[in-house]
Amino acid sequence: MTSALSISDLCKTYTNGHEALKGISLEVQTRDFFALLGPNGAGKSTIIGIISTLIGQSSGAVSVFGKNVATHVYETKLNFGVVPQEVNFSPFEKVADIVMTQAGYYGLPRSLASERTEKYLRKLGLWDKRDNRSRMLSGGMKRRLMIARALVHEPKLLILDEPTAGVDIELRRSMWDFLQEINQSGTTIILTTHYLEEAENLCRNIAIIDEGKIIENTSMKSLLGKLDSQTLVFDVRDELQSETFATIGLARSRFLDSHSFEVDIGKDENINDVFSHLEIKEVKVKGVRNKTNRLEQLFISRLKTPNNFPNTDKGETTLC
Amino acid sequence: MLGNHKYIAFETILIKEIRRFARIWVQTLVPPAITIGLYFLIFGNLIGSRIGEMGGFSYMDFIVPGLIMMAIIQNSYANVTSSFFSQKFQRSIEELLVSPVPNYIILAGFIAGGIVRGLAVGTIVTIMSFVFTDFSIHNFPVTVGVVLMTATVFSLAGFVNALFANNFDDISIIPTFVLTPLIYLGGVFYSVELLPEAGRIVSAFNPIFYMVNTFRYGILGTSDVNVFWAIAMLGAFVIALFVICILLLRKGTGLRH
C-alpha cells in the first residue's frame, strides 16, 4: 500500500540560521490517524509548512501518495487539505463564501461547490451562520470553519495543526467524533496537538519530535506500553488523617489531603493488590483516577528539555 | 490542473476581487469620483475657462482624458496592492498558496481584479465628465487598447509592490512618492509644448506621459507623442512586468520561507 505521506531525511534551515529540522524521516500509512507531537518550536509547523509548500525544504524529500511535493505540485496539492494553527481567512468575508472560494481554487464547478459547502457547514454546525461575516464567529466556530474549508475538495489526506486549540471540552469531543468519522470513511489524518489526551484517544500511530529530530515513532499502543509506572489517585469515603494514612503501610504512596492519596503502580504490578491491601485496612475507596494522562507522562519523559515545556519558544516560524 | 479547473480558479479569484472592492465601495469607488469631480469643477470649469484653449481644444476637453487615465492608473494599482497585501497580512493568501492553482492563474486573477476596478472608476469618471463637457471618441481601438494596457501595467506594478511589502507603509510609499508625481508631470493638465526644452526631455522618460497622450489621441485625436511607439512601449511593459511577477511568485518572494 502506498504511504499517504513519506518524509525522507528532511532538513530545514531558515535564513536566520535556525535549524528547524535535522534529518526527519517519517511514514504515514493510508487511512491512518497519526499524531505528530512535540513542544513549541520543535518543528511540527515547519513540517506541515513544507508539505503544504508554504515553506521550502533545505534538503530531503516529501511525497504525498507517492508523488514528490516539489516536483508534482498540482497532483499532490489536490490530495491534501490543511487546517493551519492560526486562523487565516478574511474576517470580512461571509462563512459560506470562504468555503465556496476554496472550492473554486480546486476547480470545483459552482453547483458541486455549493453542495459540498452545505454538506460540510451542516456537518460542522455552521450552516446557520453561513451568511455571517467570519469575524462574528466564536473561536471554536472559526476552527470548525477552517476544517470545513480544508475538506471541501474532499482530500485523501487531512493535516490538522492544533485544530482544537482554544475549543471548549464539549465542542472538542464533538470534533473528535467528526474526525473519527471522516477517518473511518477513508481519509488519512495527521494531527498535531498539545492536548495529549486527544492524541491518545484518536490516533493509532505517533511520532514525537523535539529540537528538529524524531525521538519516537511507533504505534500508540506500543508507546504507552513503554510506560514504567503510572500514578493513580484514590479518593476515599471517610476522612483520613496523615498519621492514620502512615499506618496503612502502602508502598510508594503519598498522602494528598483528608480524602485522597496517590499510589505509583509499576507496569508489572497489579492494581488489585492495592485494593486488597486497602480492604484489609478497612479503607473505603470512592473512586480512582489517573493523576496525569499516560501519554503526557511519556511525552515529558522523552523530551530533551522537558523543563522548558510548554513555554519554550525557539523561534518557530509561522506559515507566512 | 485541467483547463476548465484553471478557468474556475481564475473566475473564483476575480469574483472574490470584485466582491471585495464592491463591498467597500465607499472606500474604493466614491473617493476617486469625488476627487476627479473636483478637478473637473475647479481646474476644468472655474480656472479652465480663464486659460482658454490648449492643443486646439477647450481646457476642459483637454484635461478630461488625462483625468480619466489618472483615475484608471491609481485605482488599478491600489486595488492589487491593497487586496494582495491585505491577504498576505491576514494570511488568507495561504488558502490560495496551498491550493493547486498555478502561479500564472493567481497573477491573472489579481490583475483582472485590478483592471475591473480601474475600468469601473474610469467609467464613473467618464460619466461624470459629461456633466461638464461633451466629447466623442476619435479612435475607438486605440482608446480601448490603451485603457486596458495601462490598467494591466499598473495592476502588475501593484502586484510587485504587494509582494515586496512587509507593512502598510510599504504599499503607500510608491503611490505617494513615485506614482503621483509621475501622473501630475505626465501631461494630465498641460501640453508638453508649454514646457521648456529640458522639461520636454524629462517628460520623454515618464511612461505615464505616453499613456495619457495616447489616450488623449484616442478621444480627441491629438497627442504629444507617437501613438504607435507608445502602444509598443506599453506592450513591452506588460510583458516585462508579467515575467517579473511570475519569477517572483515562483521564487516565493514575500510569500514562502
B19 CB near a chain A CB, below 8 Å?
yes
Greater pLDDT, A141 or A242: A141
Q: What is the reported pTM? A: 0.84
Q: In this predicted model, what pLDDT tens digit does every residue of B100-148 receive, in sequence order?
A: 999 999 999 999 999 999 999 999 999 999 988 888 899 999 999 999 9
Lowest average pLDDT, out of A22-36, A86-100, B73-87, B190-204, goes to B190-204
Q: In this predicted model, what pLDDT tens digit does every residue of A307-318 receive, in sequence order?
A: 443 433 433 333
DSSP A237: S
Whether the CB-CB separation of A12 and A50 falls below 8 Å is answered with yes
pLDDT score at B134 = 84
Mean pLDDT, rounded, of chain A:
86
Cβ separation B255–A52 shorter than 8 A: no
Residue A20: which of B257, B11, B191, B183 has the closest Cα?
Answer: B257
Lowest average pLDDT, out of A1-10, A222-231, A283-292, goes to A222-231
In this structure, what C-alpha cell is assigned to residue A207?
511520532
pLDDT score at A294 = 66
DSSP string, A149-212: HHHTT--SEEEEESTTTT--HHHHHHHHHHHHHHHHTT-EEEEE-S-HHHHHHH-SEEEEEETT
Alpha helices in B133-224 (DSSP H): 140-164, 170-174, 180-184, 197-203, 207-220
What does the alpha-carbon distance between residue B53 and residue B50 come to, in Å, rounded to a whole number?
9
A49 CB near a chain B CB, below 8 Å?
yes
Which residues of chain B does A77 touch, with a Cβ-Cβ cutoff of 8 Å?
98-100
Pairing label, strands A3-13, A59-64: antiparallel
Mean pLDDT of B141-165: 96
Is residue B6's pLDDT more than 80? yes
Mean pLDDT of B156-169: 95
Is residue B57's pLDDT more than 90? no
pLDDT score at A1 = 66
Band (pLDDT 50/70/90 cuts) for residue A292 is low
- Paired with A159 in beta bridges are A82, A190
B100 CB near a chain A CB, below 8 Å?
yes
What does the alpha-carbon distance between residue B249 and residue A307 come to, in Å, rounded to a whole number?
42
Q: In this predicted model, what pLDDT tens digit does every residue of A237-263 receive, in sequence order?
A: 888 888 888 888 888 888 888 888 888
Pairing label, strands A157-161, A188-192: parallel
Percent of chain A with pLDDT over 70: 90
Residues with Cβ < 8 Å from A95, sequence gap 6 or more? A121, A126, A129, A130, A131, A132, A133, A134, A137, A145
Of A78, A110, A320, the CB nearest to B94: A320
B249 CB near a chain A CB, below 8 Å?
no
Q: In this predicted model, what pLDDT tens digit does every residue of A160-206 receive, in sequence order?
A: 998 887 778 888 888 889 999 999 999 999 999 877 778 888 899 99
What does the alpha-carbon distance between residue A316 and residue A293 come to, in Å, rounded to a whole number?
26
What does the alpha-carbon distance between residue A241 and residue B124 come to, in Å, rounded to a whole number?
86
Residues with Cβ < 8 Å from B200, sequence gap 6 or more? B192
pLDDT score at A318 = 32
Greater pLDDT, A72 or A298: A72
Mean pLDDT, rounded, of chain B:
92
- Paired with A64 in beta bridges are A5, A67
Starting at the edge strand found earlier in the chain, the sheet holding A205-210 runs A80-83, A157-161, A188-192, A33-37, A205-210, A213-219
Mean pLDDT of B89-101: 93
CA atoms within 13 A on the CB side of B214: 24
Lowest average pLDDT, out of A298-312, B52-66, B71-85, goes to A298-312
A77 CB near a chain B CB, below 8 Å?
yes
Interface probe with B: pick from A12, A105, A149, most Cβ of B within 10 Å: A105
Residue A3: which of A24, A27, A25, A26 has the closest Cα?
Answer: A27
Residue of A nearest to B16 (CA): A101
Residue B146: which of B239, B230, B32 has the closest Cα?
Answer: B230
The interface pTM score, or ipTM, of the predicted complex is 0.89
Q: In this predicted model, what pLDDT tens digit does every residue of B206-248 receive, in sequence order?
A: 999 999 999 999 999 988 889 999 999 999 999 999 999 999 9
List of long-range contacts for A237-241, beta carbons under 8 Å, 24+ apart: A237/A284, A237/A285, A237/A286, A238/A283, A238/A284, A240/A283
Cβ separation B2–A107 shorter than 8 A: yes
Of B11, B23, B96, the CB nearest to A92: B23
Residue owning grid cell 519530535: A209
Domains of chain A, each with CATH number or no CATH: 3-211 (3.40.50.300), 229-297 (3.30.70.1560)
- Paired with A254 in beta bridges are A262
pLDDT score at A317 = 35
pLDDT score at A302 = 67
Cβ separation B97–A86 shorter than 8 A: no
B33 CB near a chain A CB, below 8 Å?
no
B188 CB near a chain A CB, below 8 Å?
no
Q: Answer left, alpha or beta for residue A238, where phi above 0 means left and psi between -120 and 50 means alpha.
A: beta
Alpha helices in chain A (DSSP H): 44-51, 73-79, 95-105, 110-123, 139-151, 169-184, 196-202, 220-225, 242-248, 271-280, 294-302
Q: Is the dihedral of CA B164, B170, B171, B175 positive or negative?
A: negative
